[in-house]
Amino acid sequence: MANKSKSKKGRTLRPAQTQDRQPGLEREMRPRPKAEDNADAGKNKFHGRVAPITGGDSGIGRAVAISFAKEGADVAVIYLDEDSDAEETRELVEKHAVRCLLLRGDVGEPAFCQDAVEETVREFGRLDVLVNNAGEQHPQESIDRISPEQLERTFKTNIFSMFYLTSAALPHLQKGSAIINTTSVTAYRGSPTLLDYAATKGAIVAFTRSLAGNLAERGIRVNAVAPGPVWTPLIPSTFPAKKVAEFGSDVPLKRAGEPEEIAPSYVFLASGDASYMTGQVLHPNGGEIINC
């Protein structure tokens, strides 16, 4: 199978491919997602800071972990069971002379979320930026195809985990700390075949805005990022091969984004550059105009 993307009528297409497990594995994707902008050397904005990142083994989470590392942050990568991807992320993070802790477990379980936060603080001595990024999706053609088990699983991973992790992290966050949640363009325009997923992403927007108001007096900022189509392991592990090949080609920029193009939004929201922003959502989505 070809390893390069191809173009059709100005659209960027990729080789048709699928994976039979979710979460998917980044090491099996062709072409591999671009997680690091090598032209960006970082400006040491996060020296001495600590950031746990859920879903940090691959995709957007990996790119955020690398970008934070380049700014001087120690990183805790929280992931489900993709050990090979997580180890690769640790190598990519540690080459920037910072520390990386791998934490394996299910963020849909409150006990694990509590343990992950406590282990991060034990290892690094503090916690400054929480990135709630883990997510899963399971397309279905109609609502009656969504089983109670799928519905519960999607909500536990995508939104319940944010409550669990934020609650566990809050005692360790100080004035100037930041929480960044990953929502989606589907929160604003919906998705006919991702009903439960889109519902969780809408909930994340409301959660972000509400938590921002709740924590404003403590000086803890809460914002979100709503990516459009991004080339991550979630895509080949979710959709059939033909749809994967054309994924993202329908946005104005006619291609899916790379994780390295999404990560700067997280760096900005975690930094002092965004000191006057809370309760907001950034939209790196390839040019789709949505109702904010």
Residues involved in catalysis: 197
Look at strands 100-104 and 129-132 and give their pairing: unpaired
Contact 51, 76 (CB under 8 A): yes
Cα(116)–Cα(103) distance, rounded to whole angstroms? 7
Angle value at C-alpha 218, between 275 and 221, nearest 5 degrees: 35
Contact 195, 186 (CB under 8 A): no
Torsions phi, psi of 228, nearest 5? -90, -145
Cα(6)–Cα(125) distance, rounded to whole angstroms? 47
Look at strands 221-225 and 178-182 and give their pairing: parallel
Cα(96)–Cα(73) distance, rounded to whole angstroms? 10
